[in-house]
Amino acid sequence: SGRPTKISVVGAGHVGMAIAQTILTQDLADVLALVDANPDKLRGEMLDLQHAAAFLPRTTILSSVDFSSTAGSDLCIVTAGARQIPGESRLNLIHRNVELFQKIIPAVAAKSPECMLLIVSNPVDVLTFVAWKLSKFPPNRVIGSGTNLDSSRFRFLIADHLQVNAQDVQAYIIGEHGDSSVALWSSISVGGVDLLSCLEKEEINYEKETLEKIHKAVVDSAYEVINLKGYTSWAIGYSAASLARTLLRDQRRIHPVSVLAKGLHGISGEVFLSLPVQLGRGGVLGVTNVHLTEEEAQRLRRSAETVLEVQSQLEI
Ligand code: LAC
């Protein structure tokens, strides 16, 4: 289009700066705008990134405590907000972060009325719903990073178990980016070979609880990292940057991300949950018709109820 591609990152904390750094190293934007409430931290991060100019593809880096630097963005990535303390569930952050979103989202939407919104702050499914309501954008332009990261963790664990490359493991976690997420065991393939049938053929004796254990390891992994280093940043940074690349380069790739799931798989409420969807320049291009077993569909509907329950406590 010739017009410079612009990404704004709202929130210059660990997650926001991991995403910003990956945007620069992967040359995903011509202009990168940073926003944060702390002026010194924000200016420090901007200068520190600008000083790497000689080693990076040329990117104009702006920053502002207000939202002026975000004007005319193609993609706005929102990472601002309180983060879990060790042992705290993501859903527990909701009241603090909704208040913040009531300031952030209308301002970002007013400055970039045509942008795509990528929500990363937790609880991401509820906050993506809140961003959809507050921005008044069509739902195809409001996406949550959701279980794109959980699915990468899942693929890593399976790949590590089988000693293959995680990029050759096609596996989805869907639903809430949280404790009620759903592992789609029935649709996992490794190098195009259906996993469960290949385990059967090898007579690898896998008990249901083995599968449950691997899924639980995925759910617990963020808690473990938070307990060890206080927060997660690199994996979510690469996850969000992979979504930014797909969206801005119109890659038409399929990612499990948080989208308006109303009407899908028997879900009736206005709720954002992760499902495998095709993404491109227009945001959500389509929802794949992934096959769910009856048990997987039931778990997905229970996950929807969990998120709707938290959402029902909000006044926005
Ligand atoms: C995690 C945070 C981003 O799962 O929720 O690491």
Can you tell me the mean pLDDT for 4-14? 97
Task: Measure the CA dihedral 90/248/276/85, to 10°.
Answer: -10
Nearest C-alpha neighbor of 99 from the set 86, 82, 84? 82
**What token pair was written down for 215?**
């899924």
pLDDT of residue 88: 87
**How large is the ipTM?**
0.98
Residue-wise pLDDT tens digits, 49-74: 999 999 999 999 999 999 999 999 99
| Catalytic residue (one of 51, 161, 177, 215) | 177
Distance CA 76, CA 134 (A): 14
Residue-wise pLDDT tens digits, 79-92: 999 888 888 888 88
How do strand 169-170 and strand 189-190 relate by DSSP bridges? antiparallel
Let me know the angle formed at the C-alpha of 279 by 93 and 6, rounded to the nearest 5 degrees.
Answer: 75
**What token pair was written down for 107?**
């301002």
Q: Which of 149, 153, 220, 227 to mutate to test the pocket of ligand 1 (most atoms within 8 A of CB)?
A: 149
- Residues near ligand 1 (Cβ within 6 A): 90, 122, 149, 222, 232, 236
Nearest C-alpha neighbor of 53 from the set 43, 42, 61? 61
Closest ligand 1 atom to residue 90 Cα is 5
Q: Which of 145, 236, 238 to mutate to test the pocket of ligand 1 (most atoms within 8 A of CB)?
A: 236
pTM of the model: 0.96
Residue 177 annotated in active site? yes
